[in-house]
Amino acid sequence: MNVTRIIAVRHGETAWNVDTRIQGHLDIPLNDRGLWQAQQLARALADEPVAAIYTSDLQRAQATAQAVASTTGAPLVPEPDLRERSFGALQGRTFAEIETELPEQALRWRKRDPHFAPEGGESLTALRERIAATVQRLAARHPGELVVLVAHGGVLDVLYRLATGQEIQAPRTWLLANAAINRLLWTPQGLSLVGWADTQHLEDAARDETTT
């Protein structure tokens, strides 16, 4: 059976995540906590039989993926089509700034208008089409194998929706935690969900730190 197992991961934390500043295609590095999260993720996946790691070519994802590659020994392949949604002219602003300065755009964003694209950016519909095609292309290379995809919050949101049949404009009720482990299955018929937002590797490590 042509089943590909997928572990999908959002990159570790960045300073802009903390500030709620829109990153999009801007190339923001991991902060210290993000680097720590990447190491904990790498330890958690060390014994997984990973055939390949595909990562967004933005450095916050690449650094996270490199940590996993170092423990699994799997080849690391940059994949620009796993980039975050492009937010165009909104990139670099905080959510609060957008609410204040561009209330009409902020409203369309909040309502998840599937056709709203910031100036120079992507719509949710375009993002979904890009991610669906990319995952199909990558997963089809690895029947019977396990691959890791390291990407971004918007990408992970689309993967969850594709795997559960959620509409692109439906309100989000699931977590998109940095460096969480999310498991899916892919067949030529599409994606299905196995497990989501596993952060035990981060929680256990945090408890260990406080007791030493």
**Beta bridge mates, 183:** 7, 195
Q: Which residue in 11, 25, 152, 201 is the catalytic one?
A: 11
84 flagged as catalytic: yes
Query: Catalytic: 11?
Result: yes
Residue 197 known to bind ligand? no
SS (H, E, C) 2-22: CCEEEEEEECCCEHHHHCCEC
- Partnered with residue 21 across adjacent β-strands are 94
Binding site annotation covers 16? yes
Nearest to 61 by CA among 145, 154, 130: 154
Q: Check whether 15 is labelled as a binding-site residue.
A: yes
Q: Report whether 10 belongs to an annotated binding site.
A: yes
Ligand-binding annotation for 11, yes or no, is: yes
| DSSP labels, 48-99 | S-EEEEEE-SSHHHHHHHHHHHHHH---EEE-GGGSPPP-GGGTT-BHHHHH
Please list the residues that pair with 154 across neighbouring strands: none
Q: Is 17 annotated as a binding residue?
A: yes
Active-site option among 25, 84, 152, 201:
84
Q: Which of 136, 104, 123, 121 is nearest to 168 (CA)?
A: 123
Q: Is 174 annotated as a binding residue?
A: no
Q: Which residues are catalytic?
A: 11, 84
Q: Known binding site for substrate: residues?
A: 10-17, 60
Q: Known binding site: residues?
A: 10-17, 60
